[in-house]
Amino acid sequence: MSALYAGLDVGTTGAKALLVDERGTLLASATEEYPTHTPRPLWSEQDPEDWWTAAVRAFGRLFHECGRKPEEVKGVGLTGQMHGLVLLDRRGGVLRPCIMWNDQRTAPQCEELTSKLGFDRLLELTGNPALPGFTAPKILWVRQNEPHVFERTAHILLPKDYIRYRLTGEFATEVSDAAGTLLLDVRRRSWSPEMLRTLEIRGEWLPGMHESPDVSARVSTHAARETGFIGGTPVVGGGGDQAAGAVGSGVVREGVVSVTVGTSGVVFAHSDAYRIEPRGRLHAFCHAVPGAWHLMGVTLAAGGSLRWYRDTLGESDSARAKERGMDPYEVLTEGAGKVPPGSEGLLFLPYLSGERTPYPDPNARGAFVGLTIRHTRAHMTRAVLEGVAFSLRDCLELMKNLKLDIREVRVSGGGARSTVWRQIMADVFNVELVTVTSTEGAPFGAALLAAVGAGHFKTVYEACDAMVKRVAVMPPQRKSVPVYEQLYQSYRELYPSLKGVFSRLTQTALM
């Protein structure tokens, strides 16, 4: 009888649990949703109790679905949304709803933090500029706006680490998730005394630090009764969702990069050394691989651009899809596949939600540039696919500037299902595009880390080699690469030329 390993992802919309065997075969998965609350514009909060309730239900469904026994589970891995602020009192009670990663209330606190330390010093220590999504500015906000809550604070946790507390009774975290707090000395992989002094945070408020595959605690007797696990089952450090997802895709060596095309697009690169982008245009975090780091760039509207196009300009394509019993995206990309590379001189800027990398500009806007009477809807569709690929390449170029040799890109997410879009990305990146056996992302990576912590594998590298296999390879097309290289250079000129216009348009919209 093979050993089993469980992974749990405390996601933005729900908790997803899964069970895999020691070969990496998915045996069961279950997802339980929970709500997000927006008590004010730009605020985003969740109740940690909802996470625990969803986790218990999801765990409970696993054994029922696959018919296996809880005592077969030899390790549990946790992952989840990063940057969220969970505050507990001395008894472990939640003091207020979690302020989430996509909450935007803390711009003044980011400016204050940057002013106190200086941009360069902040970047040197934490690998990142102060951004509203990160945890440290949220702590400042609570101190300044909810002093009655701050005065009662005894513990500061991240979302997945709250589940660890409920599962084991221990306060612990690991380096990849902690790197997104702005409280970690990312180079040294430990809490930064300088950051704690600057924010006047007591060290005892923060959880103990672990590497991602290390056993951090064990399932308590009380939690065992609620979840069905056996008391004493090891719970490893786990990882932030992006780092755990990269482990689940086998992105654990330099030269291998992952591109995830969901609503947003995330470019993730393993790094054996601590590297920071001098202007802070890439996130620099600890990886879930001990002794390694990762760089990350984000395109805010990747799949989101295609969805906007479908809903706004693709109604007739959606109608045809319904008649043919097809997904609307299949019909859209089918038409785009008949248009030559470069869309006959039509470019699209995918900045529909502002942008993050390489232009951290909330005023950036989307645009079609180069429209002529010859262009059809199919041309516009292909231009959207190409524009997103160009934006993702911007992230890759920043990584190359830091002396990372990119030999292979592993692609996942909804956008990866399109053969046309995959080929466009391979041609724009001029590198092999690979899909792998695992499609479960972060919770699969968490389960894999649990297999390491339980001793089934010696290292994360060994676990990935055994559990993650390449399924398909899409090489770049020689005839398309030079077309896209020329078009990409034109694409790069657009944002600098239009930046002032975008700013003025935003001011006009607010009048």
Domains identified in the chain and CATH numbers: 4-243 (3.30.420.40), 251-437+476-506 (3.30.420.40)
Tokens at 68, concatenated:
């296996």
Q: Which of 267, 318, 319, 255 is nearest to 297 (CA)?
A: 267
The HSE-up count of residue 356 (CA atoms within 13 Å, CB side) is: 21
pLDDT at site 330: 84
CB atoms under 10 Å from CB of 439, counted, come to 15
Question: Tens digits of per-residue pLDDT, 23-67?
Answer: 999 999 999 999 999 999 889 999 999 999 999 999 999 988 888
Using alpha carbons only, how large is the chain's radius of gyration in Å? Answer: 23
Q: Where are the beta strands (DSSP E) in 219-309?
A: 234-236, 239-240, 256-261, 265-271, 283-286, 293-299
**Tokens 């645009």 identify what position?**
367
Structure tokens at 390: 């160009």
Looking at residue 89, its pLDDT comes to: 98
Q: Give the Cα separation of 306 and 309 in Å (integer).
A: 5
pLDDT over 90 at 370, yes or no: yes
Q: How far apart are CA 43 and CA 100, in angstroms?
A: 8
Residues written for the chain: 511
Helix or strand run (H / E) with residue 107: helix 107-117
Helix (H) or strand (E) holding 175: helix 175-178
- Residue 115 pLDDT exceeds 90: yes
Residue 436's H or E segment, with its range, is strand 432-436
| Separation of alpha carbons 449 and 443, rounded Å | 10
Nearest to 413 by CA among 275, 281, 302, 506: 302
Closest CA to 243 of 189, 184, 307, 290: 290
Q: Which residues are catalytic?
A: 241
Give ∠ CA 120-121-124 in degrees, rounded to 5: 85
3-class DSSP state of 418: coil
Q: Would the pLDDT of 414 be above 90?
A: no
pLDDT-derived band of residue 1, with 50, 70 and 90 as boundaries?
A: low
Residue 182 has pLDDT above 70, yes or no: yes
* pLDDT per position as a tens digit, 430-489: 999 999 988 888 999 999 999 999 999 999 999 999 999 999 999 999 999 999 999 999
Q: What is the number of alpha carbons within 13 Å of residue 424 lying toward its C-beta?
A: 30
How many CB atoms sit inside 10 A of residue 75's CB?
Answer: 26
Look up residue 290 and give its two tokens. 């001990």
Residue 356's closest CA among 134, 111, 45, 183? 134
User: What is the sign, positive or negative, of the torsion defined by CA atoms of 117, 119, 121, 126?
Assistant: positive
* pLDDT given for residue 415 in this prediction: 84
Q: What local confidence, expressed as pLDDT, does residue 498 receive?
A: 96
Q: Would strands 432-436 and 172-174 be described as parallel, antiparallel, or unpaired?
A: unpaired
Is pLDDT of 379 > 90? yes
Chain mean position to CA 346 = 30
**Predicted confidence band at 320 (pLDDT cuts at 50, 70, 90)?**
confident
Mean pLDDT of the chain: 94
Mean pLDDT across 226-238: 96
As a whole-number percent, the residues of the chain with pLDDT over 90 amount to 85
Provide the pLDDT confidence category of residue 175 given band limits of 50, 70 and 90. very high
Judged on CB neighbours under 10 Å (0-12, 13-18, 19+), 66 is middle
Total-model pTM: 0.92
* Identity at 402, one-letter amino acid code: L
Q: How far apart are CA 154 and CA 150, in angstroms?
A: 9
The position carrying tokens 């490893």 is: 236
Cβ atoms 224, 164 nearer than 8 A: no
Q: Which of 309, 54, 27 is nearest to 159 (CA)?
A: 54
Residue 406 CA to its chain's centroid (Å)? 20
User: pLDDT (tens digit, 9 = 90+) per residue, 138-167?
Assistant: 999 999 999 999 999 999 999 999 999 999
The crossing angle, in degrees rounded to 10, of helices 303-313 and 315-324 is 90
